[in-house]
Amino acid sequence: MTATSTARPAAASGTLASAARDALIIMWRNLKRVPRIPELAIFAVLQSIMFVLLFAYVFGGAIPIPGGGSYNDFLMPGIFAQNIVFASGITAIGMADDIGKGIIDRFRSLPMARSAVLAGRSFADVIYNLGILVVLMLSGVFVGWSVHTGIPELLAGVGLLLLFAFAMSWLGIWMGLKVPSVEVAQQAIFTVLFPITFLSNVFVPPQTLPDWLQPIAEWNPTSTLTASLRELWGNPNPYATDSFPSQNPILVTLVWVVVFIVIFAPLGIRRYRTLSR
Amino acid sequence: MDVITAEGLVKIYKTRKQEVRALDGLDLSVAEGTVLGLLGPNGAGKTTTVRILATLLKPDAGQARVGGYDIVTEAQRIRTLIGLSGQYAAVDENLTGRENLWMFGTLYQLASDTARSRATELLDQFELTDAADRVVKTYSGGMRRRLDLASALIGRPRLLFLDEPTTGLDPRSRLGMWDVIRSLVREGVTLLLTTQYLEEADELADDIAVVDHGKIIARGTADQLKAQVGGERIEVIVHDRTRVDDARRILSGIGVGTAKFDEHTRRVTVPSDGGAKRLATVIREFDDAGIVIDDIGLRRPTLDDVFLSLTGHAAVEEPTEGEAA
């Protein structure tokens, strides 16, 4: 038996082109499920709207914005950031589900790029997040949020959100590959993602936190992303301090994006290659 | 020529407290164009063997070559030769049958058009044409299993691994699956099949390797294995329990060994070499002695007997586990 005995490739396997083709096929597969399980996207949006309503009307009155400005105008960038952090939890659950159902085994038995299943997933996550963001931004306009600068700043902010979505997706993928089951994934993401969203400047001023916690909240990528958006879009950002992340939120966010990808992409791919149950 | 060769495969799963030697020095060879049935109970190491040979798992020791390629260093080459269908229907529930096949085909590195026409062909072959454009979520268990097998065949692999292809299927779907597998084998595919159903191995495989505790403990054709346990035997079910001793004495005189009695079934068994005409002798002598017989028969050994005599325990230790999976 020789290697050429089977029907042979469209693209020579092992090349960058074939790896990209494989990743695009996986991305297609992951995006197909969005309209087929519409509940997933609907609840993602509803959850964010629930947070907006909860904070805008329940806590909003109790949280004054120093220097004035509307609470909702202040809140929305944080909601966008939070939504992306939570989306990585969906990624983790999806990954764990794929392993549990055995489809990852089939992918691993195919002569496809080892990176494709994970890269395809993260590309799909970016597109999915873009869709959710558009819906959320339109909802934000309803409750009084707007971009006070211009189109370039709007696009820059969206670009930053999507870069962050890409980075967070790799964290979600890695978590999904690490946990033994979907149930554990569901538990694990709360433990990991809740501190990332709530230990931040999204809802409250970091200055109110204990001294030792304050730097953590300021360096938290959710905080730097939120601060970046407020700065780019001219939304109130009243809690800025003299700290480095407060003064350079965009730079720190970009560094976070790189750090997440550099750490979690190789970890995820290595885990995928040696996956065994 | 051997398409699969494996020597001394060892795989150890470590859990918190203990080590489980799933494979403990397993040797295997499969000749091109033949069907090898890997037969054993749950936990014997069948699935681990398939996962290692299909490049999903690395062995802790030992070597194996598939299609001439090393399973560790040339795994990607092996993947272009094989098709794998497992005990889980590993297809995407949110895609249609057609979409699944197209996806697996293109990932097998077929051109998009080739994958599309091959998908249509397979849907037809596996009687899934009517359901082709429905989401797999709506499929029955048997349909999913057929789609899973079709997915494994999308790239026309020369070598096919089927891990318990009929576990959990109802009897009718199982027969249908057997037909499909037989027709594949006629086309010249080399097949490594695992099963815990003795009947299935007997039905489909040219050669059977019996696996227990991570090792091959016997290998041969179904007939050779049966011969290993001994030939045919006479079985008599005695109506009156008090006449068992007489029955054993008579049977021991007719057969070629000592007659055994099974308390539970009132069955007296003796190995025999005289074929059906010995039955007449048995009936006559029982009649003369006034022993009433409920049932009498000449039994050829089943693979169940083979398993029992080889391992000292029954073939299916936990019959429900496979069904649940």
CA-nearest of A30, A18, A45 to A112 is: A18
- Measured between alpha carbons, how far is B130 from A217 in angstroms, rounded to an integer? 57
pLDDT of residue A190: 84
Q: Which residues of B touch A106 (CB under 8 A)?
A: 84, 86, 90-91, 104, 151
Q: CB A32 to CB B91 under 8 A? A: no
- Measured between alpha carbons, how far is A227 from A253 in angstroms, rounded to an integer? 9
- Top pLDDT among A8 and B156 is at B156
Is the confidence at residue A277, as pLDDT, over 50? no
Q: Which of residues 99-118 of B touch A (CB under 8 A)?
A: 99, 103-104, 106-112, 114
Which phi and psi (to 5°) does residue B43 adopt? 80, 5
- Top pLDDT among A76 and A59 is at A76
Which residue of B29, B71, B85, B107 to mutate against A (max A Cβ within 10 Å)? Answer: B107
- Measured between alpha carbons, how far is A221 from A228 in angstroms, rounded to an integer? 10
Q: CB B84 to CB A111 under 8 A? A: no
pLDDT band per the 50, 70, 90 thresholds, residue A7:
very low
Residue A169: in which H helix or E strand, if any?
helix A151-178
pLDDT band per the 50, 70, 90 thresholds, residue A240:
confident
Q: CB B79 to CB A111 under 8 A? A: yes
Question: Mean pLDDT of successive 10-residue segments in chain B (325 residues)?
Answer: 93 85 93 92 89 93 95 93 85 95 96 96 93 95 90 93 87 87 90 89 91 91 78 86 88 84 84 82 90 87 74 54 34
Asked if the C-beta of A42 comes within 8 angstroms of chain B's C-beta atoms, the answer is no
pLDDT of residue B117: 96
pLDDT of residue A52: 81
**For residue B69, what is the nearest residue in chain A, using CA coordinates?**
A3
Is residue A187 classed exposed, middle or buried when 0-12, 13-18 and 19+ CB atoms within 10 A define those classes?
exposed
Q: Which residues of B touch A118 (CB under 8 A)?
A: none
Structure tokens at A81: 């950031």
Which phi and psi (to 5°) does residue B13 adopt? -100, 125
- Measured between alpha carbons, how far is A94 from B203 in angstroms, rounded to an integer? 39
Minimum distance, in Å, between the CA of residue A182 and any CA atom of chain B: 16
Asked if the C-beta of A8 comes within 8 angstroms of chain B's C-beta atoms, the answer is yes
- Top pLDDT among A258 and A200 is at A258
Count of Cβ atoms closer than 10 Å to residue A192 Cβ: 16
DSSP A70-135: -HHHHHHHHHHHHHHHHHHHHHHHHHHHHHHHTHHHHHHHSSS-TTHHHHHHHHHHHHHHHHHHHH
pLDDT band per the 50, 70, 90 thresholds, residue A13:
low
Residue range A67-123, pLDDT digits in tens: 777 888 888 999 999 999 999 999 999 999 999 888 999 999 999 998 999 999 999
Mean pLDDT to the nearest integer, A35-49: 88
Tell me which residue in B1, B3, B103 faces A25 most closely, judged by beta carbons.
B103
Asked if the C-beta of B133 comes within 8 angstroms of chain A's C-beta atoms, the answer is no
Beta strands in chain A (DSSP E): none
**For residue A102, what is the nearest residue in chain B, using CA coordinates?**
B90
Q: Which residues of B touch A7 (CB under 8 A)?
A: 110, 114, 155-156
Which phi and psi (to 5°) does residue A122 adopt? -70, -35
Q: Is A161 helix (H, G, I), strand (E, B) or coil?
A: helix
Is residue B68 classed exposed, middle or buried when 0-12, 13-18 and 19+ CB atoms within 10 A define those classes?
middle
pLDDT of residue B101: 97
Point out which residues pair with B271 in neighbouring strands. Answer: B233
| C-alpha distances in Å from residue B64, one per residue of B8, B35, B154, B219 | 9, 18, 25, 18
Tell me which residue in B57, B109, B158 faces A10 most closely, judged by beta carbons.
B109
Which residue of A18, A21, A27, A103 to mutate against B (max B Cβ within 10 Å)? Answer: A103
Q: Per mean pLDDT, which range of A45-59, A180-194, B144-158 is the poorest?
A: A45-59
pLDDT of residue A12: 52
What residue type is assigned to position B46 of the chain? K
Mean pLDDT to the nearest integer, A52-77: 78
Minimum distance, in Å, between the CA of residue A27 and any CA atom of chain B: 11
Asked if the C-beta of A17 comes within 8 angstroms of chain B's C-beta atoms, the answer is no
Minimum distance, in Å, between the CA of residue A83 and any CA atom of chain B: 24
Residue range A250-275, pLDDT digits in tens: 999 999 999 999 999 999 999 998 88
Residue A139: in which H helix or E strand, if any?
helix A116-142
- Top pLDDT among A25 and B226 is at A25
Q: From edge to edge, which strands make up the β-sheet containing B207-212?
A: B82-85, B159-163, B190-195, B35-39, B207-212, B215-220
Mean pLDDT to the nearest integer, A32-47: 89
Point out which residues pair with A74 in neighbouring strands. Answer: none
**For residue B151, what is the nearest residue in chain A, using CA coordinates?**
A106
Mean pLDDT to the nearest integer, A205-224: 88
Q: What is the bridge-based pairing of β-strands B260-262 and B267-271?
A: antiparallel
pLDDT of residue B323: 34
Minimum distance, in Å, between the CA of residue B102 and any CA atom of chain A: 10
R_g of chain B, CA atoms, integer Å: 24
Q: Which residues of B touch A274 (CB under 8 A)?
A: 58
- Measured between alpha carbons, how far is A226 from A233 in angstroms, rounded to an integer? 11
Structure tokens at B192: 């490594």
pLDDT of residue B89: 67
The ipTM estimated for the assembled molecules is 0.86
